[in-house]
Amino acid sequence: MTVEQLAAHVGMSKSALSRIERGLRPYNQDFIEACAEYLRCTPADLLSRHPDAGDPALAIWDRIAEPQRQQALRVLEAFAQPYEAEKLRSKSATTRPRVRKKRGD
């Protein structure tokens, strides 16, 4: 992926994109959404993360060869399942069961 490709995707010149990057030109929601779509992330990712900080998980993902990514996803999904089950248990523990009244009470 190149700056030229991103600029073409969002419909602007490389120099205009560079001015936004350096804070010399304002951007709008449509621009952020188009960039996020092209970069396969969320608009919040572009606005909330420092570009130099990086995400260790994404850095690892980028180093995984395409044929092995499906296997990596299955491994990650296996780690997520216990967490999701725990969230459901916690939610149901805080929700009181509905008590039905008998007729005539």
Contact 55, 49 (CB under 8 A): yes
Q: How many domains does the chain have?
A: 2
- CATH assignment at residue 30: 1.10.260.40
What is the pTM assigned to this prediction? 0.47
Q: Which domain holds residue 4?
A: 1-54
Q: pLDDT at position 82, please? A: 76
Residues 18 and 38 in one domain: yes
Reduce the DSSP state of residue 10 to 3 states and report it: helix
Evaluate whether residue 86 is within a structural domain.
yes
Evaluate whether residue 99 is within a structural domain.
no
Q: Which among 91, 19, 30, 97 is positioned nearest to 10, based on CA atoms? A: 30
- Which stretches within the chain are classed as H helix? 3-10, 14-21, 29-39, 43-48, 56-63, 69-94
Q: What is the pLDDT averaged over residues 93-97?
A: 56
Residues 2 and 44 in one domain: yes
Residues 41-66 have pLDDT tens digits of: 889 888 876 666 667 777 788 888 98
For helices 29-39 and 3-10, the axis angle rounded to 10 degrees is 130
